[in-house]
Amino acid sequence: MSRYSAITGWGKYVPEGRLTNADLERMVETSDEWITTRTGIKERRIARPDESASTLCIAAAREALERAEIEGSDLGLIIVATVSQDYKFPSTANLVQHAVGAQCGAFDMQAACSGFIYALSVAHQFITTGAIKHALVIGCEVLSRVMDYTDRGTCVLFGDGAGAVVLSASDEPGGLLGFTLGSDGAKPELLYIPAGGSKEPLTEEGLREGKQWVHMQGGEVFKFATRIMGTAMEEALANAGMSSDEMDLFIPHQANLRIIESASKRLGVPTEKVFVNIERYGNTSAAAVPIALCEAVEQGRVLQGQHIGMVAFGAGLTWAAAVVKWTAPVVSGPTTTTSTKEPASAAVQW
Ligand code: ACO
């Protein structure tokens, strides 16, 4: 039985289509200046009509498997964290399992933007109990499909993408050292899709009222996020027996630059240790942390033996944080997979 679960492979996929602040200025009453100063976002990626959560996941998964130097058939478990799955059922993880040639259990789980860290902690249990040797953990969203592109309070924030890791059994001290998960379901309406579930099936009237889209009380979510990000990261660090000054790199959920700055300040993490790519992707929900992790590795910002803190918050409300000691040899340089066909902003229904 292995005592440790280490990240041995990583990969990401972002659609090629870009939706810039200038594009949004033509769609809703907003400005590049407002979006940049209030959120830090400059552009987001939007999936083509022929892309979906599973195609994004599969591209990221193939890259992660290649990096881990294993085959799909070596996997013991696949977990996809998403709220924008291909179908209500079957799960997107089922589709990934078939595509990568795995013969193992596969399921989706959702904790909104916190989903990837939730999934990582679940895979860690399977590995450290000795049940499996390798797990594929993916965070993926195609939020452009559930966005109301007439609502300036939400549509400027979100984008599409996927990030994946292979988590493997290891006897070498390292990997996932500590984590924390949290939930407060008292006010689901702070951030939700009102209709389409068993509580309120989607009707023609619901469609007219826009109940199929993401609804958010941004100010309330903002207050919650600034409070929880620092606390959650501190909890995960404490569970790993560490303090914030021992983090070599801090990867916060990429929801809003002001939230990232507030959390970093509270934790006393200097700017040069904070990873930010929100300006290029916006908030990709469950995909944000794994995409950022992949980019940090590609940019040579993660070295063998270093400690990475990751924290996320999201609808639910949920939150999650994890501390990982990076044990894989790192070869920096871009590994980005992007689609090569036509730009996809045309895919967005506005
Ligand atoms: N362009 C121009 N003006 C805007 C826009 C926009 N895109 N959006 C809102 N405004 C206006 C508002 O209408 C308001 O106008 P008013 O004063 O005339 O009423 C004004 O700007 C200020 O609005 P606030 O909501 O107070 O702006 P705030 O500074 O809070 O920023 C934002 C809004 C960016 C949404 C912020 O609250 C936020 O980031 N919240 C967190 C959201 C988040 O992270 N959600 C994801 C959670 S993770 C997940 O699970 C998906």
What residue ranges define each of the domains in the chain, with the CATH number in brackets?
4-175+333-347 (3.40.47.10), 177-325 (3.40.47.10)
State the average pLDDT over residues 87-113. 98
83 or 342: which leads in pLDDT: 83
> How far, in Å, from the CA of 34 to the mean position of ligand 1?
10
Q: What is the DSSP letter of 348?
A: S
**Which range (136-150, 168-182, 309-323, 329-343) has the least confidence?**
329-343
Which atom, in ligand 1's list, is nearest to the CA of 112?
A: 50
Within 129-203, residue ranges assigned H as helices are: 152-155
pLDDT at 343: 37
> How far, in Å, from the CA of 180 to the mean position of ligand 1?
28
315 or 347: which leads in pLDDT: 315
Q: Before 317, cis peptide (omega within 30)? A: yes
pLDDT at 3: 87
Residue pointed to by tokens 């007439």? 150
Q: Residue 71 pLDDT > 50, yes or no?
A: yes
Other C-beta atoms closer than 10 Å to the C-beta of 314 total 25
Residue with the smallest CA separation from ligand 1 atom 44 is 255
Question: Cβ neighbours of residue 37 under 8 Å, at least 6 residues apart?
Answer: none
Instruction: Check: CB of residue 79 under 8 Å from CB of residue 97.
Output: no
Q: Residue 62 pLDDT > 50, yes or no?
A: yes
State the average pLDDT over residues 234-242. 97
Q: Residue 337 pLDDT > 90, yes or no?
A: no
Q: CA 162 to CA 136: how far, in whole Å? A: 13
Instruction: Check: CB of residue 153 under 8 Å from CB of residue 221.
Output: no
Q: CA 114 to CA 253: how far, in whole Å? A: 8
Residue-wise pLDDT for 304-330, tens only, equals 999 999 999 999 999 999 999 999 887
Question: Cβ neighbours of residue 185 under 8 Å, at least 6 residues apart?
Answer: 316, 317
pLDDT at 338: 53
State the average pLDDT over residues 129-141. 97
Q: Residue 50 pLDDT > 60, yes or no?
A: yes
Q: CA 257 to CA 166: how far, in whole Å? A: 28
> How far, in Å, from the CA of 284 to the mean position of ligand 1?
17
pLDDT at 329: 82
What's the Cα-to-Cα distance from 306 to each of 178, 213, 302, 331, rounded to whole Å? 14, 40, 7, 15
Q: CA 134 to CA 170: how far, in whole Å? A: 10
Instruction: Check: CB of residue 283 under 8 Å from CB of residue 142.
Output: no
Instruction: Check: CB of residue 237 under 8 Å from CB of residue 323.
Output: yes
Q: Residue 116 pLDDT > 60, yes or no?
A: yes
Residue-wise pLDDT for 253-307, tens only, equals 999 999 999 999 999 999 999 999 999 999 999 999 999 999 999 999 999 999 9
Residue with the smallest CA separation from ligand 1 atom 30 is 219
Q: Residue 340 pLDDT > 60, yes or no?
A: no
Instruction: Note the pTM of the prediction, 2 decimals.
Output: 0.93
Which atom, in ligand 1's list, is nearest to the CA of 258?
A: 39
Catalytic residues: 113, 253, 283
Residue pointed to by tokens 């280490």? 6
